[in-house]
């Protein structure tokens, strides 16, 4: 294990480490933000980078927090993910490369996107 990986493991909970650093996924309908209706900014649990505004959060029925837009172009980046026999688009924190979830093109307007994000990767800073 590298020093950086050890630092992440020392800082994050086991669930957060598995999801954010090892690209795991929390079970649907189990995350603390899946049904959250509070107003604020969702930040990266690893580095505090602002990721999503609660104004773009919606109930997709998927069991994970879903957003139709990232907060800004400095929030997230995307990578093709071909793991598990599927082709998906992985969403990661632009600041620290934490795995957040995936983005799909079946969301509501105005973007048509569904950022399907693990609650364990998020920290809500209420307004």
Active-site positions read 116
Q: Rounded to an integer, what distance in angstroms lies between the CA atom of residue 71 and that of residue 32?
A: 20
Q: Which residues contact 13 (CB under 8 A, 6 or more apart)?
A: 120
CB distance 20 to 5 below 8 Å: no
Q: Rounded to an integer, what distance in angstroms lies between the CA atom of residue 58 and that of residue 68?
A: 8
């Amino acid at each position: 294990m590298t020093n950086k990986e050890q630092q992440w493991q020392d800082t994050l909970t086991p669930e957060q480490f598995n999801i954010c650093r090892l690209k795991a996924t929390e079970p649907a309908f189990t995350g603390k933000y899946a049904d959250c209706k509070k107003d604020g900014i969702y930040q990266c649990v690893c580095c505090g980078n602002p990721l999503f505004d609660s104004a773009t959060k919606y109930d997709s029925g998927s069991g994970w927090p879903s957003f139709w837009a990232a907060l800004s172009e400095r929030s997230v980046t995307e990578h093709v993910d071909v793991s598990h026999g599927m082709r998906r688009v992985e969403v990661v924190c632009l600041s620290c490369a934490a795995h957040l979830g995936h983005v799909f093109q079946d969301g509501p307007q105005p973007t048509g996107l569904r950022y399907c994000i693990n609650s364990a990767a998020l920290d809500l800073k209420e307004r």
